[in-house]
């Protein structure tokens, strides 16, 4: 897909995702780096990642990229209809293959000899 300036950008979703990410990472960094002198630059880098994430999400949205939401992943889509020419074999029931001499059934079945 090409760039389309008319495509909507899900700003609320992008902001919410980044806030969740930043909150989780801030807690992890606070636990791992207890020294405040080392924690401040790391949290500064985390704050800088916000605008970068939003710009990257904006560009992807304008190109037409939309990730599935959790609700979309939970709700499976309906299977394609039987009239669909894309997969006629998938919906048709396969007939049983003809017996061969290796399948132990059918007219070529070897019988045990009587002694």
Does residue 29 fall inside a structural domain? Answer: yes
Provide the number of structural domains found in the chain.
Answer: 1
Higher-pLDDT residue of 78, 102: 102
What is the rounded CA–CA span in Å between residue 1 and residue 57? 16
Does residue 46 fall inside a structural domain? Answer: yes
The per-residue pLDDT of the chain, averaged, comes to 82
User: What pLDDT was estimated at residue 98?
Assistant: 82
Decide: 58 and 4 in contact? Cβ < 8 Å.
no
Other residues' Cβ atoms within 10 Å of the Cβ of residue 77: 6
Other residues' Cβ atoms within 10 Å of the Cβ of residue 57: 20
Does residue 31 fall inside a structural domain? Answer: yes
pTM: 0.58
User: What pLDDT was estimated at residue 87?
Assistant: 56
Does residue 105 fall inside a structural domain? Answer: no
pLDDT tens column, 55-68: 999 999 999 888 88
User: What pLDDT was estimated at residue 102?
Assistant: 76
Does residue 112 fall inside a structural domain? Answer: no
User: What pLDDT was estimated at residue 48?
Assistant: 95
What is the rounded CA–CA span in Å between residue 22 and residue 44? 11
If 0-12 CB within 10 Å is exposed, 13-18 middle and 19+ buried, where does residue 10 land? middle
pLDDT tens column, 26-37: 999 999 988 888
* Structural domain range at position 23: 11-66
């Amino acid at each position: 897909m090409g760039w389309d300036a008319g495509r909507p950008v899900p700003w609320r979703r992008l902001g919410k995702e980044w806030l969740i990410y930043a909150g989780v990472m801030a807690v992890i960094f606070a636990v791992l780096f207890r020294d405040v002198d080392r924690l401040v630059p790391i949290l500064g880098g985390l704050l800088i990642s916000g605008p970068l994430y939003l710009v990257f999400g904006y560009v992807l949205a304008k190109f037409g990229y939309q990730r599935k939401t959790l609700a979309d992943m939970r709700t499976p889509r309906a299977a394609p209809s039987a009239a669909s020419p894309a997969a006629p074999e998938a919906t048709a029931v396969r007939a049983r293959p003809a017996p061969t001499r290796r399948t132990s059934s059918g007219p070529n079945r070897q019988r045990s000899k009587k002694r």
